[in-house]
Each structure stands twice: as C-alpha cells, then as structure tokens.
Structure 1
Amino acid sequence: MMQKPPAVILAGGRSSRMGGGDKGLLPFGAGCLLTHVQARLAGQAGRVALNANGDPARFADLGLPVLPDSLPDQPGPLAGVLAALDWAAGLGAASVLTVAGDTPFLPPDLTARLSGVGGLALAASPDDRGVLRDHPTIGLWPTGLRHDLRDWLSAGQRRVRGFTQAHGATRVIWPAGFVDPFYNVNTPAQLDHARSILSRHDLP
C-alpha cells in the first residue's frame, strides 16, 4: 500500500485582492476555507501542517502545526514550499504534498495521481474556456529539492514556473467537471461563487 506523504497547506500570502487578513479563515460552509482544504486532504496525506506567517495562535482551532516561511521578507509561494520541504525532510519523508489554502474543491485522487508519475509532479486543469492552466503550488515535491530551492531563492529568484521547469516537473492533468478541482479563491466575487458551488452541489 502506498505510504501517504505529509502535506502542507500554503497560506502565507498577503491576500491583497481579498482586502488583506487571513483569507483561509473566511467563513465557508460549516467552517472556513482552510477547514475545507484540510478535509480534502483526509485519507490522502499523512501528517498535515500549515504554512503561514505571523502569530500562529490565530490558527489554533485547526489543530495543525504552523510553519513560517524559511526565509525572511516573504519571497513568494516558493518560500512556503521550502518550509514544507524542510519540515517533511525532518520527518524523514521522501516527498511532500503542497496545496493552496484557497482551493476548497481539491480532488480525492490528488496524492494517488501525483505519486504515480514519480519525481516532481504538479497539477493542471482546464479553465472554463478549456484553456489548460498549471497550478504550480499544488504538487508533490521530492524533499531532495530543498537545497536547490534554497539556493534559488537566496539568489533572488522568485518564479515558481522557472524553478519547476528547471527541475523537470511533470504536469498531471485533471479533467474539467462541474467545478474546477483547483478553483482558487482570490477575490470576494470568487468566494461568493465558491459558496454557490458548495450549496448547489451539496459538496462535503
């Protein structure tokens, strides 16, 4: 049986398009965005942690360890990925699953399909126009990449795509359904739309 990798929910962004604050704690269904992401990982991951900066006490209700960025000045989502890699390596894990904290409809076969390709694997799906979109913060990362990633960030590089392409990432494509499994909430309008999807389709 496949060993479930540890997972880290990336929630270290500034949420500027949502007006600031902790986007993941906004009400969503019976909980908040982060509790829905956490529920989607149930059965797919081993230990789960949250990447976020600032006072970790505000996330106490989630019952998750909180990992701040490994580098100062919040240099983008790759800093959260580095924190995830460092944490997972400390657990002795060969890889770590990362997901975005604003994606409440993650698919139930996320880990299985990403694990099936070996190496660095990242999710992709078509948007509502059929255009394929990459989701580079949602993927399975070998922990051995942490040294290269630390060097990449220390050199002032920030582009997720640049790093993943340089390390031969495999794109794993999910089909379109009634909802994009990687639909992410960046604005109040998108949050309203996600809530509408949740209520219309009686999703867990």
Structure 2
Amino acid sequence: MTIAALILAGGKATRFGGADKAFVPLHGRPLIAHVLDLLRPQVAPIAISANGDPARFIKFGLPVLPDAPDFSACGPLAGVAAGLAWAKRVNATFLLTMPVDTPFFPATLVADLSPGPSVAVYAGRQHHLVALWPVSFLPALEDFLHRDAKYKVRDALTLCLARPVHFTSSRDPFTNLNSPADLLPFG
C-alpha cells in the first residue's frame, strides 16, 4: 500500500473574511506549515489542493492541484477528485486528505487510518475530510459528481466503503479552525 497526501486548502474561508486560510497565522506560522510539520514524517508525496494563483505556495515546494473545470462547483470533493488523479500519476494506491484548518491531528494518523478506505471519527462525529481514499475510487467519484447535485462528502465515503476509525484523546484532534474566534484558545 503506497499512500500520498493532499492538503485541502481550497475553501472560501468566509468566516475569516475571505482570507486565504492556508496562510492564517497560528503561533506565528501559517496553518499550512503546521499541517505539513505533522504530515511530512508520516507520508510522501504530498500535494496541495487549491484554486487561484499556485505561486503563493511556491515556498512549500509541493504540487498545487486546481479543481477540474467539470467539478468546480462540487466543493471539497472536487479537490478529492483532483488529488486522486494526481495520486494515480505518482503510483499511490491510497490518498490521505487533510483540511488545512486542522493542525492538531495525531502524529500517527496515517498508521491509525490504515488500511483504507477509512475516515476519522472523534466523540461520535465523523470528520469527513480526514480520510484515506482508494485511488481506484476515482472513476466512481467522478461518476458520483457528474450525477449527484448534492456532492456530500459523507455520501462519497459511504460509496467507497470507508470504515470509521475512532480516535480518543482529551480534546478533538480534528478541531477545525474556521474563524478568528477559533484561534483564541490556541493563541
């Protein structure tokens, strides 16, 4: 099993006033740097899912994958589809997806989620985008995105038969930092 990883950094960040969430500072460093610090010891290769000018990520030295035009209105599943296509090109069999606003995940995440397909669950809450997707799922995901107008990540995970992996700790390791107020406890 060969695993590649995709940092999902393409959200609109409306609760951050439209700021590029990947570059929102936490402890003086951008969120994406925190995510990379935890991912790099666990998995390679790594890519970034983001639209717009890819040059803003140049200092990270990673491929930047835009959404395919066919799926531009499909939310984060467009990023997952682009990531699966890239993972296939780099001969990976699974793709780990990680939202850029989730900088506190376990240093053992890849091992914990293996074997895939799988999805992280904490305290009964499924974290849909912290998942290990089989690269072979790409054609089924593309078909799903072409025919289903809802584009729910949960439904795509069900379709690929992702098993839930339950995590326990004193705090949610998949906490999303969605607004400036979410950063305050970690300041």
What range is the shorter-chain TM-score in?
Answer: over 0.9
- Residue 126 of structure 2 corresponds to which residue in structure 1? 134
Whole-Å separation in 2 of the counterparts to 1:86 and 1:166: 18
Whole-Å separation in 2 of the counterparts to 1:97 and 1:175: 20
- Residue 20 of structure 1 corresponds to which residue in structure 2? 18
CA contact (8 A) 2:2 2:94 kept: no
Cα distance change of structure 1 residues 6 and 166 upon mapping to structure 2, 3 Å threshold: closer
SS in 1 for 2:178: coil
- Residue 176 of structure 2 corresponds to which residue in structure 1? 184
- Residue 96 of structure 1 corresponds to which residue in structure 2? 95
- Residue 112 of structure 1 corresponds to which residue in structure 2? 111
Matched to 1:122, the amino acid is V
- Residue 202 of structure 1 corresponds to which residue in structure 2? none
- Residue 152 of structure 2 corresponds to which residue in structure 1? 159
Deviation at 1:15, TM superposition (A): 0.6
Q: What TM-score comes out, normalization by structure 1 length?
A: 0.86
Whole-Å separation in 1 of the counterparts to 2:105 and 2:116: 21
Task: Return structure 1 stretches of 4+ with deviation > 3 angstroms.
Answer: none
- Residue 119 of structure 2 corresponds to which residue in structure 1? 122
> What residue ranges of structure 1 are gaps of 5+ in the alignment?
127-131, 197-204
Per-residue deviation, residues 106-151 of structure 1 (Å, max 9, x unmatched)? 1011000111xx331001112xxxxx21111111111000000011
Identity percentage over the alignment? 42
- Residue 129 of structure 1 corresponds to which residue in structure 2? none
Deviation at 1:74, TM superposition (A): 3.6
Whole-Å separation in 2 of the counterparts to 1:143 and 1:4: 10
Deviation at 1:72, TM superposition (A): 4.3
CA contact (8 A) 2:71 2:145 kept: no
CA RMSD of aligned residues (A): 1.4
Whole-Å separation in 2 of the counterparts to 1:40 and 1:147: 30
- Residue 72 of structure 2 corresponds to which residue in structure 1? 73
Per-residue deviation, residues 37-60 of structure 1 (Å, max 9, x unmatched)? 010102110111100001011112
Whole-Å separation in 2 of the counterparts to 1:36 and 1:87: 23
Deviation at 1:176, TM superposition (A): 2.5
CA contact (8 A) 1:120 1:167 kept: yes
Matched to 2:184, the amino acid is D
Aligned residue pair count: 185
